[in-house]
Amino acid sequence: MLLGISRIVHSPFGQVLKMIRENEPRAISLGYQVDRYKLLAFVLSSALAGLAGSLKTLVMGFATLSDVHWTMSGEVILMTLLGGVGTFSARSSAQAS
């Protein structure tokens, strides 16, 4: 899964998303449909989150209510803050701690 995400990030699609993140007016002036790329990024991230949740349920054999408690969102935000927004390896090290 990480290999697929890495391929997306380094693809032309990922490079356009980086450009939009860094300088959205420039991406618009270069003719990119920024809203379309943002929508595709949202759909892709939603699909990956759904896949991760379904795989966790398959591996564990059950889904508990603690998975949908508000503290789970706080853990994800904390992992992002500790690991950094643009890194993969730091997120996994934040999960280990």
- Going by C-alpha positions, the residue among 87, 77, 81 that lies closest to residue 9 is 87
Cβ-count burial 40-67 (b if 16+ within 10 Å, e if not): ebeeeeeeeeeeeeeeeeeeeeeeeeee
Distance CA 3, CA 69 (A): 30
What angle separates helix 89-96 from helix 70-83, to the nearest 10 degrees?
130
* Whole-structure pTM value: 0.69
> What is the pLDDT tens value at each position of the chain, 97 positions in all?
788 888 988 999 999 999 999 999 999 999 999 999 999 999 998 898 889 888 988 998 887 887 777 787 788 788 778 876 666 665 455 455 4
Helix (H) or strand (E) holding 30: none
Q: Is 26 exposed, middle or buried (0-12, 13-18, 19+ CB in 10 A)?
A: exposed
